[in-house]
A and B are shown apart, each in its own frame.
Chain A
Amino acid sequence: MSNLDVLLLDDEPIVGKRLKPALAKVGCEVEVFQNPVEALKRIDEKFFDVVVTDISMAEVDGMQVLEHVVAKNNATKVIMITGFAMMSLAREAMEKGAFDFIAKPFKPDDLRAIIARAAEALGKPIAFEAGESA
């Protein structure tokens, strides 16, 4: 079981701080960013299996990150974090090639489950069973 490379982008510092170890526990190699510009730079440098990005951010928003990732490499699974259930935004994200979306507030296991499904789709399953602890 190889490690899954995950990039986590959210301008809330606590999200990265707490989710990095949470995802690491299920076998993810996580890089955390608060600044979308820096995150995009990193995406250009390195291939990630999964990109988790918040939608509403200043400067560059999640939608632009999605477009950037899709344009660069179709294999990367992008998971969008929406502020609250904005169905139109979510639908738009799915149309643009997002793997899935998750609405704040969410439990770490909710995100783990989605990442696990993404890993499954990539053929790199991780050590997490959906509904394991939820």
Chain B
Amino acid sequence: MASPLHLKQAKAPNAMIEAAQEKTEDAAGQGAVNTRHERARDFEEARKALLARPGFSVRAQIYLGFALVFLFTLITVIGLLMSIYEVDHKVRFLETVNQYLIEIEQARRFEKNYFLYGTNLKDGLENVSSANRILDSNKEQILSITGENVYNQMLSNLKEYEVLINRLLALGDAWDGSEAHAKEALTDEVREQGQNMISLAAELALKERQALTKTISRARRMHIYFLLALLAIMTVNSFILARRVLDRIEQYKTFAQRIASGDYTLITPKRSYRDEFTELALAVNQMVLDVEAREELLIQSHKLRAVGTLTAGVAHELNNPINNIMITGHMFLEDYESTDDEERMDMMNDVVNEANRAKAIIANLLDFARESGSQLAPLDVAEMLKDTIALASNRLKRSKINIEFSSTDKLPRVHGDSQQLRQVFLNLILNAIDASQSGGNITVTVLPADEPHYIAVKVIDYGTGIPKHILGSIFDPFFTTKSQGKGTGLGLSMSQGIITKHGGQIRVFSQEGHGTTFTVTLPVTTFPAKITEETHMSPLY
């Protein structure tokens, strides 16, 4: 007998075969189809949820911001144009009033001269008619500022002044008698009228000048407020826009890191609106599905490589039962006549048992090699480890490595994919074989982990150990220390991916010259309740 495991396998071939058959039955591919189908459904749900939100694109926000700024600028420009128009209007009015005043003042100068020297009163009338022309030609302008009452009053003042002067002229040069009294009274009236006209016009001009100053200072304030408001609008809009875009970029950075670490959760809506990043989210989700599918292919091809390295060993392993059958069969034929019934029964029993042994060897290999997607089931890790060690038993035997397997009783099951987990264990065991020297030992243990609700599988070799400087790289894809063509450098990277997917961890502890321990921790299944109860009853917990 080669190893304790070998012994077990030979002793209970029927149990092994039954187990193998069971595995074949529940692996009809249904699980794989379901999982793939479920993923597609998740993807579709995420897509719908992402698209169901009302749209508010970054582009729309940019356009809206520009439109707002433009609208604001437009209003302000219109306001400024109106102010300029108003200023212009007032300046023109002031000019008109000035001209008017000049004419009146000129008329009054003639009036004064007349009173003093009795000259040129007629000339004053010309100024009056000039003032009248000014009022007349700027009627609309004056009306728009002073209103009809003031304009009419100015007009009537002018008319009355003209009438008074004419009356004064009609009196002639007589300065005596009753006419002189009348003339004196008229003179006072003319003076008063002239004074009134000037003060009215001056008052108007003053008022308008004040209004002009006000308009100008209002326009100045408007400039400043407009600038400040524009600055505020643009700052707020840029800030919101920048934060929106940068936050998303940060978010996608996190997604990328998450996906790189093997977490293939699909992106689901986080904001209440949809935008350009929604398209990105859909594309990333699609990518995640594709990456997942590719990874499955990669795992499968890597698995087939492992099968390739095992096949030689398995063929050798198969030769033993076949040889036994052949020898027994030939001797049965040769000695049929001389053999008694008991001996014949013994021979045929050997033949049947050896045939079963061959079948179990093949079933174990095929079960491992068979292509299938992820199928989750509660798994007995100790059983899986025994099967895996059986698969590698010939490699162990040929390398003359003794493997010791121990497990704690009544360990809870883990929820996972038996093929993928066995691939991880096989990988670790084959690595341990490669690291060990001929005649060395490998220890495989399964026990409750330090953390509650986890179990730990330890694969320990006492070989060369891993040098410190490469210890950090061993889980990197395509990292290998084996010669070209011997290793893909994907084993540990893939194992880590598989274990991460199962919610567990792979840790490594290595001392150069003393060996290496790989520890795989896996969360135990929380159902069915019975198993959990057993767990609590177990003194080890």
Contact = CB atoms under 8 A, between A and B. Distances in A.
Contacts of A133: 334
Interface in A1-56: 11-12, 14-15, 18-19, 21-22, 34, 56
Interface string B387-403: 00000000001101010
Contact of A15 (B1, B324, B334): B324
B242 to A, nearest CB: 70
Interface string B173-206: 0000000000000000000000000000000000
Interface string B345-365: 001001000100000000000
A109 B330 contact: yes
Nearest to B347: A18
Contacts of B350: 14
A109 B398 CA distance: 28
Nearest to B339: A21
A124 B1 CA distance: 33
B2 A57 contact: yes
A83 B393 CA distance: 14
Contact of A18 (B2, B315, B328, B402): B328
Contact of A108 (B320, B331, B402): B331
Contacts of A83: 315-316, 319-320
Nearest to B319: A104
A108 B319 CA distance: 15
B398 A14 contact: no
Interface residues on chain B, size class? 20 to 34
B400 A58 contact: yes
B1 A34 contact: yes
A10 B366 CA distance: 28
Contacts of A19: 327
Interface in A77-110: 83-84, 104-109
Contacts of A67: none
B328 A107 contact: no
A12 B331 contact: no
A105 B326 contact: yes
A15 B319 CA distance: 12
Given A14-B350, A105-B322, A84 B327 contact: no
Contact of B319 (A18, A22, A58, A105): A105
A110 to B, nearest CB: 10
B331 A14 contact: no
A61 B2 CA distance: 11
B427 to A, nearest CB: 23
A14 B400 contact: no
A1 to B, nearest CB: 21
A14 B1 contact: no
Contacts of B347: 18
B169 to A, nearest CB: 151
B254 interface: no
B2 A21 contact: no
Contact of A14 (B324, B330, B397): B324
Contact of A107 (B3, B326, B397, B400): B326
Interface centre among B323, B330, B398 (most CB of A within 10 A): B323
Interface in B373-431: 397-398, 400, 402
B330 A107 contact: yes
B316 to A, nearest CB: 4
A2 B323 CA distance: 30
B316 A56 contact: yes
B335 interface: yes
A108 B323 contact: no
B398 A56 contact: yes
Contacts of B326: 105-107
A58 B397 contact: yes
B331 A11 contact: no
A61 B330 CA distance: 27
A105 B325 CA distance: 9
Nearest to B335: A21
Contact of B331 (A22, A58, A59): A22
A107 B323 CA distance: 8
Contact of B323 (A22, A34, A105): A105
B319 A14 contact: no
Contacts of B327: 14-15, 18-19, 22, 105-108
Contact of B2 (A11, A84, A107): A11
A22 B2 contact: no
B1 A11 contact: yes
A11 B394 CA distance: 14
Interface in B301-339: 315-316, 319-320, 322-328, 330-331, 334-335
A87 B331 CA distance: 28
Contacts of B3: 58
A108 B330 contact: yes
Given A14-B350, A14-B354, A61-B400, A22 B334 contact: yes
The 7 closest A-B pairs by CB, nearest first: A83-B316, A105-B323, A14-B324, A104-B323, A104-B319, A58-B2, A105-B322
Given A12-B323, A61-B400, 16 more contacts: A14-B327, A18-B331, A18-B347, A19-B327, A21-B331, A22-B327, A34-B1, A56-B316, A57-B2, A58-B1, A83-B315, A83-B316, A83-B319, A104-B319, A106-B326, A108-B327
19 contacts: A12-B320, A14-B327, A14-B350, A15-B327, A18-B328, A18-B347, A22-B334, A56-B398, A58-B1, A58-B400, A58-B402, A83-B319, A84-B316, A104-B322, A105-B326, A108-B330, A108-B331, A109-B330, A133-B334
Interface of B: 1-3, 315-316, 319-320, 322-328, 330-331, 334-335, 347, 350, 354, 397-398, 400, 402
